[in-house]
Amino acid sequence: MTKNGIGVWIDKKNAFIVRPLDGDWEVVTLFSEMESHRKSTGGKAKSKPYMHESGPSSASHRNNAESNTMHQYIRNVAKYLSGTDRIFILGPGDTKLKLRNQLVENENVQHMREIALETSDRMTEPQLKAAVLSHFGQPAKRFMPRQTPHDLRS
């Protein structure tokens, strides 16, 4: 296991992983396959909907598919973090809690990791790197912007 810390900003759509690399820090992005919920535009409802278009079975099927997709996404992020002793998880909502629970579930009884959580809105790449460095007690470097700014905001 590496003694270096890794930071993760995660939500339902993607995870940004900040990890040390050759004396610097890199950001790796993992995407989920969750579809964004679209708001209904209205329209005229059918007077007699077909059985396969209504009722709890189609909603239940959609919820099960979303749950399975989210679970697979969380497992993929957790696999990416395997072999790390110290993990700092940031993000809005409960996705960060799901990731922490997955990591704890995978814990080896003989070796426990340090896992810290913090609620956070979206950040730019320099802000995310600075937050991770600060959490692990390292002086934040001044990150020079790239030629084309890479903003983690959607």
Mean pLDDT, to the nearest integer, of 88-100? Answer: 94
Question: Residues with Cβ < 8 Å from 102, sequence gap 6 or more?
Answer: 74, 75, 77, 78
Residue 150 lies in a domain: no
Residue 38 lies in a domain: no
Q: Two tokens at 57? A: 């079975």
Find the domain containing 94 and state its range: 2-33+60-135
Instruction: Please report the pLDDT score of residue 139 as a whole number.
Output: 64
Residue 102 lies in a domain: yes
Residue 67 lies in a domain: yes
Residue 140 lies in a domain: no
Residue 47 lies in a domain: no
Number of folded domains in the chain? 1
Mean pLDDT, to the nearest integer, of 64-83? Answer: 89
Residue 141 lies in a domain: no
Mean pLDDT, to the nearest integer, of 75-91? Answer: 92
Q: Choose between 53 and 39: higher pLDDT.
A: 53
Q: Two tokens at 74? A: 């969380």
Mean pLDDT, to the nearest integer, of 16-44? Answer: 75
Predicted structure pTM score: 0.71
Instruction: Please report the pLDDT score of residue 67 as a whole number.
Output: 84
Residue 55 lies in a domain: no
What is the per-residue pLDDT across 106-116, written as a single tens digit (0 to 9) for each? 776 556 789 99
Four-CA torsion 97, 101, 102, 106, nearest 10 degrees: 150
* Domain of residue 75, CATH code: 3.30.420.60
pLDDT band at 13 (very low <50, low <70, confident <90, very high): very high
